[in-house]
Structure 1
Amino acid sequence: MIRVVGAAIVRHGCVLAARRSYPAAEAGRWEFPGGKVDDGETPADALVREIGEELGCAIRVDRWLPDAVRGIDRGRELELRVAVCSLTDGEPSGIEHDALRWLAPEELDDVDWLEPDRPFLPGLREMLLDGEPLPGGNVGGAVRIGATVRRPTGPWTPAVHALLSHLAKTNLSAVPRVHGIDARGREILDYLPGQVIDVDADVLTDAQLAALGRWLRALHEASAGFDHPGPWRFFGVDAPSLITHNDVAPYNVAFAGDEVAGVFDWDLAGPSTPVHDLGHTAWTAIPFFRPIPEAEAARRLGTFADAYGTDPLTVLDAVRPRVQLAIDGIREAVRRGDEGMANLAATGEPERTERALAGFLARQPSLRARLIVGGSSSSATPQ
């Protein structure tokens, strides 16, 4: 019996398919790359060797898909096994195939697979739908699959998708497009590449702060005139004046250098005010949730406020009510049974934020006095 092994090489929730160029009967059809197990080789060793020869890259065999396919090839009994593998070095190239494609779970049926490979597709499809968990995000559940992100939905999802569709028409940059709902009932959005700054350990550059202020202003202008009855997940404010993101913070922003490349996690979008948005972004991005030198905090606040086009004092005074709204909202959402907010509570919220707010309030009078002495420009104060 001839033993044959194939590699289901998985990256970012997609699997690599290779198109045969020979023999003539199989040319143009797709397979999991691999080959025969030589005498004295283990299946894993054979697969690593074959992929190096066929694709010019190195892999690690993670696990074997269940079962094997048996058949007859030119009068000889054949057994095919397929392993889930990860790339460890190099980029696959079509040394022995005329085309390669990374396929998301919804794309597995887009190519004409060789018959021996087809029985492995259903199990592989389910595994690919697990995706690649994305780091961060205590509310939870986001995974990457190819160029998309899959996230849990809720009653608020239709309203959020309506907002994103509206923003797409305004050509606002850094906003994910909506691609529907997947087989597990999750929303499908663009994956937005870039660097996410960990402000627990670092700070945004002045240029990044300014870019964030400009982008937030552009968001508020693009949202003007949009309305939707909801329901929305955001816990709301008195007298809202527009629909906005409500969580524009470094952990939800990807930068390309100093420019805003992507803003994600729109599930808290809902009726609010520009000043509440500014207060929350300042809390997380100056940042005010942890102590930094007073002169530095005042200067950074001025950079952010000037880029948006408003008075730094207006932003400073917006911090306390917005943070208190978040504290109260988390508790109310947990009481209502919001699973994502329950996940957040399990990390120590909102008590951790309450402690940070108390520290900010102790620093605020001195910071306010410094801003007054230094002078603060007043232009286009948000409402």
Structure 2
Amino acid sequence: MDEDPVDDPRPVTIEDGVVTRPAGPWSPTVHDFLRHLRARGLTCVPEPLGVADGMERLVHIEGDSGGDGWRHQHSEAGLRSAAALLRRIHDASLDWSPPPDGVLQEPVAVVGEGEAVWCHGDVGPWNMVWHDGEAVALIDWDFLHRAPRVDDVAYALQWFAPARDDELALTWHHFPEVPDRAARVHSFLDAYGDLPPFDVPEVVARRMEATMALELRIARAGVEPQRTWVAEGSQERAAAGVRWVRDHAELLRP
């Protein structure tokens, strides 16, 4: 969950094919979830290796991610592959139950109706691993939570449509020209498949507001980097983004 995807200041290392990163109280529960998905044949999430001494270890998935992931979602094929990947993960999550002592992050306010699944909570090109323009994995599951499918889908559409102004689409998302957002929304929803009808711009705006509320709660607890983001104006920038979505709703309706 980022105001915008930025480099995480926490010390993350990759050595001998293993990612080592700081763990949270929720990390053992997330690892249980990842083991569940992998037991169902999904190799599109990291293989967890355990949590010890405040650090978690996972098998590194080779490919482009982080800042290198943005360009892959420009194409129709990349966009549709991201939606299809999210659908496969949601479907495989349905029968998982957290362990009795399981801990999850402070829950987000969910949006939308329909069947509840286990949601990633931070679906964007930076948290996907890409090979040859195709999304092959979804990583960084710190915001795992249960919600209707559209909760994750609406979050993703903010970044994949993108539900952002023309300048950001060109400079931040690096599109070569302003994209046809409505067409991209249609493609993403079509590739995901079988969702109940929903008003895309309004649900995206509400999901953005839920993200803002979660960021503010985390920041007020003194957690970094959210505390710094809020101090530097992230809430105001996000509120402006929500206004843009509502003011330009016609650009996002497929």
Residue 348 of structure 1 and its aligned partner are, at CA, apart by: 4.2
Q: 1:367 to 1:286 in 2, by over 3 A?
A: closer
Deviates more, 1:330-339 or 1:217-226: 330-339
Aligned mates of 1:278, 1:252 — CA distance in 2: 14
Aligned partner of 2:242 in structure 1 is: 357
Report which of the two has the higher share of strand.
Answer: 1
Q: CA offsets, 1:263-283, max 9 Å, x none? A: 211111122221010000010
Q: Which amino acid aligns with 2:54?
A: G
Aligned mates of 2:200, 2:39 — CA distance in 1: 29
Aligned mates of 2:11, 2:41 — CA distance in 1: 28
Residue 211 of structure 1 and its aligned partner are, at CA, apart by: 0.4
Aligned mates of 1:317, 1:139 — CA distance in 2: 33
Residue 223 (structure 2) pairs with residue 338 (structure 1): yes
Q: 1:335 to 1:137 in 2, by over 3 A?
A: same
TM normalised by structure 1 equals: 0.55
Give percent identity, aligned residues only. Answer: 26
Q: 1:281 to 1:367 in 2, by over 3 A?
A: closer
Q: Which has the larger radius of gyration?
A: 1
Residue 180 (structure 2) pairs with residue 296 (structure 1): yes
Aligned pair partner of 1:308 in 177, 182, 192 = 192
Aligned partner of 1:231 in structure 2 is: 103
Deviates more, 1:232-241 or 1:142-151: 232-241
Pairs within 5 Å for 1:52-63: none
* Greater relative contact order, per chain length (Cα 8 Å cut-off, separation 6+): 2
Matched positions, count: 234
Secondary structure at the aligned position of 2:10 is classed as coil
Residue 173 of structure 1 and its aligned partner are, at CA, apart by: 3.1
Aligned mates of 2:30, 2:151 — CA distance in 1: 19
Pairs within 5 Å for 1:40-189: 136-138=6-8, 140-181=10-51, 184-189=53-58
Aligned partner of 1:119 in structure 2 is: none
Aligned mates of 2:137, 2:218 — CA distance in 1: 27
Aligned mates of 1:204, 1:318 — CA distance in 2: 23
Residue 170 of structure 1 and its aligned partner are, at CA, apart by: 1.2
State the Cα RMSD in Å. Answer: 2.9
Residue 338 of structure 1 and its aligned partner are, at CA, apart by: 2.8
TM normalised by structure 2 equals: 0.80
Deviates more, 1:300-309 or 1:227-236: 227-236
Report which of the two has the higher share of helix.
Answer: 2
Q: CA offsets, 1:15-41, max 9 Å, x none? A: xxxxxxxxxxxxxxxxxxxxxxxxxxx
Aligned pair partner of 2:208 in 314, 323, 329 = 323
Structure 1 stretches lacking a partner, 5+ long: 1-134, 372-383
